[in-house]
Amino acid sequence: MGVGRGLKINEYGVFKGGKRIGGRTEAEVYRRVGLRYIEPELREDRGEIEAARTGRLPRLVTLADIRGELHAHTTDSDGKNTLAEMAEAARARGYEYLAVTDHSKHVTVANGLDEKRLARQIGAIDRLNARLKGFRVLRSCEVDILEDGRLDLDDAVLAELDFTICSVHYRLDLPASRQTERILRAMDNPRFTILGHPTGRLIGRRGPSQVDMERLMRAARERGCYMEINAQPERLDLSDLHVKMAKGIGLKVAVGTDAHSTRNLDFMRLGIDQARRGWLAAADVLNARPWRELETLFRRR
């Protein structure tokens, strides 16, 4: 665009003839070549120039937009802090809600909860909520997706939850067709809400599961399900490319820290960075909404 305007652009700025007409700030450089400012996270040659030219750049989500945490663990499974400590830490960060999503029983290595223990935790959450003012602890669980696509806990106890995070933690090596069908069968359960860390990758340690991600995303949108950007630094799952795919499909995502301690709640910043690289605005992110809106969205159609 600069060449078409008779401009020269280099590391020293924007020049017209021999005169420097821009370069004091990045915003000035973009303005001089006739473009809206492009946020650094979008500078990947993925259509951002054309979007800037035509006024279609999103106003990217920010950390300040986040209203609550939707994926956190306590000492009831493999977390390091108690229910009350996690709630207080979330409230201290200015959040309106915290979802407690301890593991279900299949993840024995993480001291996963069976139906009886989850029922006791629900009671503890209700008692805590009765004491809290202006803050809500959400009743949830990170429910394992079994190899045949069933969820790890009975529907009766899942019905008592505000929503579920459903995740694959074993047999991550299934062929793409079987892994995709496994997750699709899980999504058919009306108690399924959000697919947690959708590919299961651990950066530098384990590659992503082979799945048909576009098919899963379209199925989730049809069923009234959602996907997670897991903000754990070793996961960052969904990838930025998959986040942008979700944006194009119109599938909303949750940004969750998968916190196993109060300090882990600070990983939200990393998840927001990933959301921004995927072109997400606040309207695309579930937990940029108050609970009263989420409660409606989480009711399966």
Q: What CATH code is carried by the domain that includes residue 236?
A: 3.20.20.140
Residues 165, 222 within the same domain: yes
Q: Is pLDDT of 174 > 90?
A: yes
Domain total in the chain: 2
Residues 204, 278 within the same domain: yes
The widest CA-to-CA distance across the chain, in whole angstroms, is 77
The runs of H, that is alpha helices, within the chain are: 26-32, 48-54, 83-92, 115-131, 155-158, 176-187, 213-223, 240-249, 268-277, 291-297
pLDDT at 42: 97
Q: Is pLDDT of 3 > 70?
A: no
pLDDT at 300: 81
Residues 121, 253 within the same domain: yes
Question: Which residues contact residue 295 at a Cβ distance below 8 angstroms, ignoring those fewer than 6 apart?
Answer: 162
DSSP 151: B
Q: Is pLDDT of 6 > 90?
A: no
For CA atoms 275, 280, 286, 289, the dihedral sign is: positive
Residues 46, 86 within the same domain: no
Residues 31, 165 within the same domain: no
- Coil, helix or strand at residue 57: coil
Q: Is pLDDT of 196 > 80?
A: yes
Residues 48, 68 within the same domain: no
Cβ atoms of residues 194 and 254 within 8 Å: yes
What's the rounded mean pLDDT across residues 123-128?
Answer: 97
Angle between helices 213-223 and 240-249 (to 10 degrees): 40
Q: What CATH code is carried by the domain that includes residue 17?
A: 3.30.210.10
Residues 45, 129 within the same domain: no
Tokens for 5?
């305007």
Rounded Cα gap, residues 236 and 229, in angstroms: 7
Location of structure tokens 């750049």? 57
First vs last C-alpha separation in the chain: 47
DSSP 206: B
**Lowest model confidence (mean pLDDT) among 3-12, 118-127, 244-253:** 3-12
Residues 17, 87 within the same domain: no
Element (H, E) at 69: strand 68-69
pLDDT at 126: 97
Domain hosting residue 180, numbered range: 63-297
Residues 251, 275 within the same domain: yes
Residues 155, 259 within the same domain: yes
Paired sense of beta strands 142-144 and 19-22, if any: unpaired
Q: Is pLDDT of 292 > 70?
A: yes
Residues 163, 31 within the same domain: no
Higher pLDDT, 249 or 6: 249
Residues 179-193: tens digit of each pLDDT: 999 999 999 999 999
DSSP 7: E
Q: Which long-range contacts (CB under 8 A, 24 or more apart) does 149-152 make?
A: 149/181, 149/182, 149/183, 149/184, 149/185, 149/186, 149/188, 150/185, 150/186, 150/189, 151/104, 151/186, 151/189, 151/191, 151/192, 152/104, 152/105, 152/106, 152/112
Cβ atoms of residues 216 and 188 within 8 Å: no
Domain's final residue, options 54, 72, 96: 54
Residues 49, 132 within the same domain: no
Q: Is pLDDT of 115 > 90?
A: yes
pLDDT at 26: 92
Residues 13-70: tens digit of each pLDDT: 999 888 999 999 999 999 998 899 999 999 999 999 999 999 999 999 999 999 999 9
